Amino acid sequence: MTNFIDYVKIYCRSGKGGAGCMHLHRAKYLPKGGPDGGDGGKGGSVILHGNRNLWTLLHLKYQKHIMATDGGRGGQSRSFGKDGEDKIIEVPCGTVVYDGETGEFICEVKEHDERVVLLKGGRGGLGNWHFRTATNQAPRYAQPGEPAQERTVIMQLKVLADVGLVGFPNAGKSTLLSVVSAAKPEIADYPFTTLTPQLGIVSYRDGRSFCMADIPGIIEGASEGKGLGLRFLRHIERNAVLLFMVPATSEDIVGEYNILLRELENYNPELLTKARILAISKMDIAQPSASPDSSASSDFSDFSDISEKIGIPVLPISSLTGEGIAALKDALWEELNKEQNQVIEISHAPIDINEPMPNDQMVNDQINDQMVNDQMVNETTIYLNEVEEEWDLDKYKGIGWDE
Ligand SMILES: Nc1nc2c(ncn2[C@@H]2O[C@H](COP(=O)(O)OP(=O)(O)OP(=O)(O)O)[C@@H](O)[C@H]2O)c(=O)[nH]1
Ligand SMILES: [Mg+2]
């Protein structure tokens, strides 16, 4: 569980453009050879690149700075400066980028191989050769390069899955994932067993399959930060269908369902536009209810009254005995293939930048132990030791750029 990182904060900077060259050609027999200063090179850009082989932002965890290189200066004899090198950041599909200072949404990378320019490199300045005119045959100025762009960004991973599991701790979410897919999530009889989202591929009939995400349990108040809920709620933003889960042993199934629904709504009201199914889990240990007004039905196979009340399909299941699992898969598959459920777009509300670096408190220690000797740390050390070059526009004073 320790290596799932879905939140990183990184300072990024593109390369500035190289300055154009101011040079007047002189040779023994050509004392007034004219201007021949070449152009500066383009600064490197910082580019995000979607990579479906990545499932977390772990590889960026220790990366505090990512900087593309500057363009080279132009030279005499109209020689061009070298272009700066782009910095490509490999990210898992589903990475959303926010401004680290304002929390505003900047961009997202959804598909494999998708490239998004996060910060553009500065253009190189023109050499003085470009500025020769009939009236000014020896221009003594050249353009400076365009400045670099810099920004501190927060990257969040929002897992892309077809079905997201929503339920209180201990509802049996991980157990379900373990029986419908090859995933091996931790399962135990205490709340908050699952601390990080897990994905599993559920194989369906005829070689078809869909992806299911198990997220940590949600409790009342999760949308305000209670429990582990809030920081993981974003992982269901991208799901097409939400599978709610309430154990059959619950005293008030509808009540629990409504609490979960309210938490999602508080977090992002758009979540309620997604298709929902309610699975009543642990049917094998359910007891017939004596009290007639309890929501737990005395006839176990019939949850139509609940279904009617909440307006979504309700299916009883037991991960232990396998009861109802096939029917549940059918229902999920049906929902996934409905036209209106295809679109899983959702707008990314600005984030609260004061939210503590989520995984830090929880997983930091384990990760530190695990990775101190890891190459990733060594790589970062280089970054941290790198001396930041002062970049100062004063040296271009009086020439070129419109001030
Ligand atoms: N009898 C029975 N027990 C179940 C069933 N499904 C899950 N359990 C038990 O319920 C307990 C909790 O299951 P988990 O799958 O870990 O629950 P979870 O919803 O993932 O819980 P968190 O990760 O803490 O949110 C475990 O002891 C499971 O063995 C079921 O269908 N029948
Ligand atoms: Mg779990």
- Per-10-residue mean pLDDT, the chain, length 403: 75 95 86 88 96 85 93 92 95 92 92 94 93 86 93 88 90 93 84 81 81 85 69 79 94 93 88 93 76 46 83 94 93 85 63 59 39 34 30 38 37
Q: Is 192 in the pocket of ligand 1 (CB under 6 A)?
A: yes
Residue 342 pLDDT = 60
Residue 11 pLDDT = 96
Q: Is 169 in the pocket of ligand 1 (CB under 6 A)?
A: yes
- In three-state form (DSSP H/G/I as H, E/B as E, the rest C), the secondary structure along 275-327 is EEEEEEECHHHCCCCCCCCCCCCCCCCCCHHHHHHHCCCEEECCCCCCCCHHH
- How far apart CA 247 and CA 167 sit, in angstroms, is 9
Query: Are the C-beta atoms of residues 194 and 245 closer than 8 Å to each other?
Result: no
Q: Is 187 in the pocket of ligand 1 (CB under 6 A)?
A: yes
Q: Which of 187, 214, 283 to mutate to test the pocket of ligand 1 (most atoms within 8 A of CB)?
A: 187
For residue 211, give the nearest of 90, 332, 86 by alpha carbon: 332
Q: 3-state DSSP call for residue 15?
A: coil
Q: Is 284 in the pocket of ligand 1 (CB under 6 A)?
A: yes
Count CB-CB contacts under 10 A for residue 390: 5
CA of 379 to the centre of ligand 2 (A): 34
CA of 187 to the centre of ligand 1 (A): 6
Q: Output DSSP code: residue 93.
A: T
Q: Is 128 in the pocket of ligand 1 (CB under 6 A)?
A: no
Count CB-CB contacts under 10 A for residue 93: 22
Residue 287 pLDDT = 65
- How far apart CA 57 and CA 17 sit, in angstroms, is 30
Note the pTM of the prediction, 2 decimals: 0.65
Q: Which of 175, 249, 256 to mutate to test the pocket of ligand 1 (most atoms within 8 A of CB)?
A: 175
Residue 102 pLDDT = 93
Q: Whose structure tokens read 């369906």?
A: 204
Q: Whose structure tokens read 């396998």?
A: 322
Q: What string of DSSP letters covers 210-230?
A: EEEEE-----TTGGGT-TTHH
CA of 289 to the centre of ligand 1 (A): 21
Q: 3-state DSSP call for residue 347?
A: coil
Q: Phi/psi at 185 (nearest 5 deg)? A: -75, 160
Q: Phi/psi at 342 (nearest 5 deg)? A: -70, -35
Nearest CA to ligand 1 atom 5: 282
Residue 377 pLDDT = 33
Q: CA torsion, points 299, 304, 307, 313, in degrees to nearest 10?
A: 100
Q: Which residues lie below 8 Å from residue 278, measured CB to CB, with a gap of 6+? A: 244, 245, 246, 257, 306, 307, 310, 312, 313, 314, 315
For residue 174, give the nearest of 319, 377, 339, 275 by alpha carbon: 319
Q: 3-state DSSP call for residue 7?
A: strand
CA of 274 to the centre of ligand 1 (A): 25
| 150-157 β-sheet, strand order | 65-67, 7-13, 150-157, 95-99, 105-109
Phi-psi region of 376 (alpha: psi -120 to 50; beta: other; left: phi over 0): alpha
Q: How far apart are the first and last CA of the chain?
A: 52
Q: Is 85 in the pocket of ligand 1 (CB under 6 A)?
A: no
Q: Is 391 in the pocket of ligand 1 (CB under 6 A)?
A: no
- Written as six digits, the tokens of 179 are 């029986």
Query: Are the C-beta atoms of residues 223 and 29 closer than 8 Å to each other?
Result: no
Q: Which residues are paired to 279 by β-bridges?
A: 245, 315
For strands 198-203 and 209-214, give the pairing: antiparallel
Residue 383 pLDDT = 27
Domains of the chain in start order, with CATH, are 7-157+373-396 (2.70.210.12), 163-341 (3.40.50.300)
Relative to the alpha carbon of 189, which ligand is closest? 1
Atom of ligand 1 nearest to the CA of 175: 15
Give the up-direction half-sphere exposure of residue 238: CA atoms within 13 A in the CB hemisphere. Answer: 20
